[in-house]
Amino acid sequence: MRQAIILAACLAALLSACDRGSEDPRVEQLLELEEEMYEGQEPSDERLEELRESVRTLESSVEQRMRDHEYLGRYHKILAIEYINREMYGPALRELEAAIEIHTENPVLFYYAAIAAARQAKSTREAGRRSELYEDSEWYYKRAIELRPQYRSALYGLAVLYLFELESPDEAEPHLNRLLELRPSNWEAQFLKARMRVMQGRLEEAIEVYDRIAADASASGQREAALRNKRELQESLE
């Protein structure tokens, strides 16, 4: 009799373990959210069944809510694109921020938000607000790069922001160097590097960059521009 009781208890434990092993992941996640309630103890069978029933009952409602948010996120993206295409950067930024609230780890949204913020800043008269928008643009670029470290467009955009809007060549340098590590033949970035060296007062190094562009760039316009800029720098040194 005792052996039968022990065998039954072991069988019940085994079945319970198997049942938990095949538990709906959503139930497991709900249990994880309620971990503080149990303080290391296993939840009761009644609690488990209650959570399973909640999942079954709310499943269709949850799925509909997810579809609604996906649709809303797509709506904000499409509207933002249309605003950007029409150079309406203030409304575009608002739509991008709304999309980011839904898709919080989409690097492309942060990249376009950075562009919109910087372009809106250019048309903002009040100095404090203009400064805030440039700070927002900087943050959006950095977040895009954090999410996608090899995001070349974001690295280029951030370097442009530092050089031409914030006049901070030293801040631009690590991002520009990273971009050129990823693609040395990015001649637009090479022109930026030359500009950065001029702003840093390192004119001989700027001339070396122009020499590299003139020797290796495939577009004749880029080679001619590099030679012209080089001559201007050489004349300034005479």
- Whether 177 and 213 map to the same domain: the answer is no
Overall average pLDDT of the 11-40 stretch: 61
Residue 46 inside a domain? The answer is no
**Bigger pLDDT: 46 vs 14:** 46
**Which residue range forms the structural domain that includes residue 125?**
64-183
Which pLDDT band, with edges at 50, 70 and 90, does 236 fall under?
confident
Residue 14 reports pLDDT greater than 70: no
Closest by CA to 99, choosing from 83, 87, 86, 85, is: 83
H or E element at residue 16: helix 2-21
- Whether 193 and 230 map to the same domain: the answer is yes
Q: Of all residues in the chain, what percent carry a pLDDT higher than 90?
A: 70
Express each pLDDT in 29-80 by its tens digit: 777 777 666 566 777 778 778 778 877 887 888 889 889 889 999 999 999 9
Task: Collapse the DSSP code of 44 into the 3-class scheme (helix H, G, I; strand E, B; otherwise coil) and give the result.
Answer: coil
Task: Report the C-alpha gap between 106 and 74 in whole angstroms.
Answer: 12
pTM of the model: 0.81
- Whether 145 and 91 map to the same domain: the answer is yes
Tell me which DSSP letter residue 166 carries: S
Q: pLDDT at position 153, please?
A: 97
Tell me which DSSP letter residue 126 carries: S
- Whether 205 and 237 map to the same domain: the answer is yes
Residue 17 inside a domain? The answer is no
* Across 13-22, 72-81, 106-115, 129-138, least confident range: 13-22
Tell whether the torsion through CA atoms of 165, 188, 149 and 115 is positive or negative. positive
**Bigger pLDDT: 14 vs 150:** 150
Overall average pLDDT of the 184-193 stretch: 96
Tell me which DSSP letter residue 162 carries: I
Name the CA dihedral angle for 72, 84, 143, 172, rounded to a multiple of 10 degrees: 180
Task: Report the C-alpha gap between 95 and 109 in whole angstroms.
Answer: 10
Domain boundary among 165, 183, 201: 183
Task: Report the C-alpha gap between 227 and 214 in whole angstroms.
Answer: 6
Express each pLDDT in 160-183 by its tens digit: 999 999 999 999 999 999 999 999
Tokens 């372009």 appear where?
Answer: 119
Tokens 């190094």 appear where?
Answer: 205
Distances (CA, A) of 141 to 97, 126, 146, 175: 14, 23, 9, 11
H or E element at residue 163: none
